[in-house]
Amino acid sequence: MSPEEFRKQGKQMIDWIADYYENVEKYPVLSQVKPGEIIGQLPTNAPKESESMDQIMSDVNSIIMPGITHWQSPNFFAYFPSNSSGPSVLGDLLSSGLGVQGMIWATSPACTELETRVLDWLAGMLQLPGQFKSTSTGGAVIQDTASSAALSAILAAREKKTNYKTNDSGNSGKLVAYVSSQTHSSLEKAIKIAGIGKNNLRLIGVDENLAMRPDLLEIVIQADLKAGLSPFFVCATVGTTSTNAMDPLTEIGRICRKYELWLHIDAAMSGTAAISPKYRHFLNGVELADSFSFNPHKWMFTNFDCNCFYVADRSVLIKTLSILPEYLKNQASESGAVIDYRDWHIQLGRRFRSLKLWFVIRHYGVSGLRYHISEHVRIAQEFAEWVISSDDFELVAPAPLNLVCFAHKNGNDFNRKLLETINANGKMYFTHTEVNGQYVLRMCIGQTNTKEEHVRLAWETIQETAKELSS
Amino acid sequence: MSPEEFRKQGKQMIDWIADYYENVEKYPVLSQVKPGEIIGQLPTNAPKESESMDQIMSDVNSIIMPGITHWQSPNFFAYFPSNSSGPSVLGDLLSSGLGVQGMIWATSPACTELETRVLDWLAGMLQLPGQFKSTSTGGAVIQDTASSAALSAILAAREKKTNYKTNDSGNSGKLVAYVSSQTHSSLEKAIKIAGIGKNNLRLIGVDENLAMRPDLLEIVIQADLKAGLSPFFVCATVGTTSTNAMDPLTEIGRICRKYELWLHIDAAMSGTAAISPKYRHFLNGVELADSFSFNPHKWMFTNFDCNCFYVADRSVLIKTLSILPEYLKNQASESGAVIDYRDWHIQLGRRFRSLKLWFVIRHYGVSGLRYHISEHVRIAQEFAEWVISSDDFELVAPAPLNLVCFAHKNGNDFNRKLLETINANGKMYFTHTEVNGQYVLRMCIGQTNTKEEHVRLAWETIQETAKELSS
């Protein structure tokens, strides 16, 4: 495709996306297709000859669009937001257009240095302690997901505890890690991947707010030490996926210091809230952590993928993940004056992801980000008030920020039916979780364009549907 | 940013990228900035208030662009291509615009079903054996990189060999894996990550063409078995990173069958060549493999990230990587009628990457892809002929496809000086490797717009610079 043709087709694609944003509320939020309905419309074999962009876009409209669940609809309240924004999409487009590889500094110095600076900006915006900045002992890297960040943290912790010998000799079978029963499933997956085994992952019990109990954590660590095992890693969560529970970071951090365990903090969605001074207190205790990660691709208007992974001591991470074959050697790396981000994550190749983050932060400004985040929290808190004031519904867990967990008083089967009925209608989309055997409805409010009117309409829909199902 | 503003800014960005493509040859291919030069121009703190797109793009032009190494220049011959194309960038833009999560089928059915179909197309295009298709026992998934694909293969192999007990109990210290001394460093990294330890990774010797010697492989496997160890995994490479060496797949595959080892084939760059029937023979033996991966983001005009990872038996991969928390449960997944790609890789979240692959295949058509790949090979072979005919240079390794490894006869120091002098000039960019102690120059030909004239000019530059340095 020539530059001239790209110019023409690119502008048509921009128009298509702008039209989509204007009309996104007209689509059913949850795709209503049946399994196999999309694939059944696609030819079995690749086309032998070239097809036109018009043909392709015609299929996008007729075949692909019915199979889209609209994460960018303001009526999307499911799982977690994976929000986005114009400047983010444009930053990502620029990244695609430049098509550079940032695996080492030399393969595009701007890709490394912009990333370092923007992540230092974010450290300041979240008031992270000084050691997490690149100008101190630590630093940060953009990873694809919080899953990969957690795996990287576990690997660094594993090597630190075993004096970098597991990388050489393999896992010894003595290492033990700790999470709460509410911690994201990616931690269990990472423990398996790292060769440690889920039998060596302890699920610590939680309190009435579903937050990890530090007293139980310490008891279990002591028991493991007594059994000759080697406790090495704790993951504390700021805002669990299920109910947005807040683990007590300071108390957990003190235990980690006492027993020399690596503390990783997973703040995937809720970390963004700390940009606003009103919500910064949820990160109190982060100064005791060895690593911290959150996802601007969840709630900070930055399209997937963009996880920010901070470490207090970069030398441990680099020593854990560094490999230097001859064909990657170069003067800049050998001088030690540059960062090679390849040594900060699992993959070797990497795209220029900091562009979209830079675009977002500059477009909104810190004050703009604070405003939008605070608005989401305000609306969610209002929704929680409506639930509390209602005769038929109840709040099931504390709602510290933008996630409200609630249930109709008619029991599990009724709530399941209520959820499925509403989602099948297409006007909104929300999902569920389970809390102590109870089927719980989740309203997660964080899509870029979600306003009070959308949440009000959602609440009306929920109430009306519940009434219809009750009668 | 309103849809109207996005429409305006988006078109300006498209113009910017089209202009860039028109002028890409005017930039020095390898960025000439010094360490710290980019970051030193970026403010220390994030802006408090919103900034305009004009301000941001002004900084892109003045601060970022000098720090770009131009992977999309037709004069880029370094490392491997990370090529791209108009339709790919537009497919990626559509993916950013839709902003969907494809972690499970329900979160956007089209994201899963298009991926499955397009990867089946590619299986057909590469003439992969039937078991790698989704309609049989296997199937495929788009991963970010060949590094992640190799890690996934190792994990599946680990669990299959240990009857899924390593996931539970951790690594036992008995597992042993095999690669050649020329295999990509990501395999060593993955073996470390998986908790197996690099002492349990055997580097098998190579023949005069730098291909793995199956006789040595079998001897080492037998020795390990005799020592009570548990051989479980071999990675064979179709086109090593260093010199494009081709491991003998059939012989290695027979050994893997005999001793019940998982065979993974890494064809990161060179796999694409098999789209052309002329080069399909390099994949002969793939029918004996358990997994196979190649990167359309290297040589198939698809921008990063896009690795295609095929398995012959999907049930092993899924059983290895599956985790199902309550908040992800849904009717479609529970019915068993759909694929949930979350269970096929390390991460949970995933973007709609098959769109760009679909756009590329349809825009070029199979015949178009074959034409462009064959042209790259033809030009590379021509370059190899020039080297062979030259008095001053020699070919250092066979050049089966698009990578030519050569050296000036004046020795290592001269070749290093030659490379550094040319790269500092900015007209072209190429890199080096080491073969048996020899410093070797690499010309890798695969950027989308590289034509014979670019390679001819590169050869003239190399010859002239060598003459200047000699005199």
Q: Which residues of A touch B47 (CB under 8 A)?
A: 361-362, 365-366
Pick from B7, B189, B366: which is nearest to A48 by CB? B366
d(C-alpha A394, C-alpha A410), whole Å: 10
> What is the tally of helices (H) and strands (E) in chain B?
15, 11
Strands B262-266 and B230-237: parallel
Q: Does B242 touch chain A (CB under 8 A)?
A: yes
DSSP line for B48-90: SS---HHHHHHHIIIIIGGG---TTSTTB-SSS-----HHHHH
Per residue, the 3-state secondary structure of B395-428, as one string, reads ECCCCCCCEEEEEECCCHHHHHHHHHHHHHHCCC
| CB proximity B170 to A under 8 Å | yes
Handedness of CA B354, B359, B362, B368 (dihedral sign): negative
Q: Give the per-residue pLDDT at B229.
A: 98
- Measured between alpha carbons, how far is A283 from A249 in angstroms, rounded to an integer? 7
What gap in Å lies between CA A381 and CA B420, rounded to an integer? 61
pLDDT of residue B173: 87
pLDDT for res B337: 84
**Chain B residues within 8 A of A98 when measuring between CB atoms:** 20, 68, 71-72
Mean pLDDT computed over every residue of chain B: 97
pLDDT at B77 over 80: yes
Residue ranges of domains in chain B, CATH in brackets: 100-351 (3.40.640.10)
Q: Which two tokens stand for residue B133?
A: 């298709």
Q: Measured between CB atoms, which of A42, A67, A338 is closest to B109?
A: A67
Closest Cβ–Cβ partner in A33, A147, A170 for B348: A147
Per the CB < 8 Å rule, is A82 touching B97? no
Strands (E), B87-200: 139-143, 175-180
Check whether B287 has a pLDDT greater than 90.
yes
Partner A, chain B 339-398, Cβ-Cβ below 8 Å:
346-349, 351, 355, 358-359, 361-368
Nearest-Cα residue of chain B relative to residue A188: B323
Rounded CA separation B204/A178 (Å): 39
Structure tokens given for B322: 């599956």
- CA-to-CA distance for A220 and A212, rounded, in angstroms? 13
- Of B285, B296, B299, which is closest to residue B257 (Cα–Cα)? B285
Q: Are B67 and B36 in contact (CB under 8 A)?
A: no
> What Å distances lie between residue B207 and B211, B215, B263, CA to CA?
5, 10, 20
Which residues have CB under 8 Å from B26's CB, separation 6+?
none
Q: Is A75's Cβ below 8 Å from some Cβ in B?
A: no
State yes or no: pLDDT of B248 exceeds 80: yes
Residue A65 and residue A17 in contact, taking contact as beta carbons nearer than 8 Å: no
**Sign for the pseudo-dihedral over CA of B56, B59, B64, B65:** positive
Task: Please report the residues numbered 395 through 414 in chain B whose beta carbons come closer than 8 angstroms to any beta carbon of chain A.
Answer: none
Mean pLDDT, residues B56-73: 98
Distances (CA, A) of B278 to B273, B274, B371, B403: 8, 8, 11, 17
For residues B424-445, give the mean pLDDT: 96
**For residue A167, what pLDDT is reported?**
96
Transcribe B202-262 into DSSP letters. Answer: EEE-B-TTS-B-HHHHHHHHHHHHHTT-EEEEEEEEBS-TTT--B--HHHHHHHHHHHT-E
- From CA B189, how far away is CA A347, in angstroms rounded? 9
Tokens of A231: 């406790």
Q: Is B135 on the interface with A (CB under 8 A)?
A: no
Judged by CB atoms closer than 8 Å, whether chains meet at A11 and B14 is answered as yes
**Separation CA B151–CA B137 (nearest Å):** 21
- Under the banding of pLDDT at 50, 70 and 90, the label for residue B219 is very high
Q: Do A14 and B18 touch (CB under 8 A)?
A: no
Query: Any idea what the Cα angle at residue B168 is, between residues B163 and B173, rounded to 5°?
Result: 75
pLDDT score, position A52 = 98
Chain B residues with CB under 8 Å of A173 CB are 169-173
Cα separation, A137 vs A367, in Å, equals 29
**Among all residues of chain B, which has the CA nearest to that of A190?**
B346
Q: By three-state DSSP, how is residue A175 classified?
A: strand
Is the interface score ipTM higher than 0.90?
yes
Q: Which residues of B touch A200 (CB under 8 A)?
A: 169-170
| pLDDT at B331 (0 to 100) | 79
- pLDDT of A331 reads 79
pLDDT of the residue at A306: 98
CB contact under 8 A, B17 and A167: no
Residue B258: CB atoms within 10 A of its CB come to 10
Identify the CA nearest to B122 among candidates B112, B138, B133, B131: B133
Phi, psi of A12 (to 5 degrees): -65, -35
pLDDT at B328 exceeding the cut of 80: no
What does the pLDDT read at residue A336? 77
**Interchain CB distance below 8 Å, B151 and A31:** no
pLDDT at A333: 77
Q: What is the pLDDT of residue A323?
A: 85
pLDDT at B156: 98
pLDDT tens digits for range B13-39: 999 999 999 999 999 999 999 999 999
Euclidean distance between CA atoms A95 and A111, whole angstroms:
10
Q: What percent of chain B has pLDDT over 70?
A: 100
Average pLDDT over residues B58-85: 98
> Residue B324 pLDDT more than 80?
no
CB-based contact, A203 to chain B, within 8 Å: no
Q: Is B61 on the interface with A (CB under 8 A)?
A: no
The answer to whether the CB of A109 falls within 8 A of the CB of A374 is no
User: What is the pLDDT, as a whole number, of residue B336?
Assistant: 77
- Decide: helix, strand or coil at residue A212: strand
CA dist B414 and B469 (Å) reads 8
A54: exposed, middle or buried (Cβ count in 10 Å: 0-12, 13-18, 19+): exposed
Q: How many residues would you count in chain B?
A: 471
- Cβ of B110 within 8 Å of Cβ of A64? The answer is yes
Cβ pair B401, B244 in contact under 8 A:
yes
In order along its 471 residues, chain A shows pLDDT tens digits of 999 999 999 999 999 999 999 999 999 999 999 999 999 999 999 999 999 999 999 999 999 999 999 999 999 999 999 999 999 999 999 999 999 999 999 999 999 999 999 999 999 999 999 999 999 999 999 999 999 999 999 999 999 999 999 999 999 889 999 999 999 999 999 999 999 999 999 999 999 999 999 999 999 999 999 999 999 999 999 999 999 999 999 999 999 999 999 999 999 999 999 999 999 999 999 999 999 999 999 999 999 999 999 999 999 999 999 987 777 777 777 777 899 999 999 999 999 999 999 999 999 999 999 999 999 999 999 999 999 999 999 999 999 999 999 999 999 999 999 999 999 999 999 999 999 999 999 999 999 999 999 999 999 999 999 999 998
Rounded average pLDDT over B392-417: 98
B176 closest CA partner among B237, B259, B253: B259
Distance CA B135, CA B336 (A): 15
What's the confidence (pLDDT) of residue A335?
A: 77
Task: Using alpha carbons only, give the angle B141, B142, B147 rounded to the nearest 5 degrees.
Answer: 105
Question: Residue B431 pairs with which residues in a beta bridge?
Answer: B442
Q: What is the pLDDT of residue A373?
A: 98
Closest by CA position to B81, among listed B283, B380, B389: B380
pLDDT value, residue B329: 76
A47 with B362: Cβ contact below 8 A: yes
Neighbours of A61 (CB within 10 A): 10
- Interface A:B, Cβ pairs < 8 A: 505
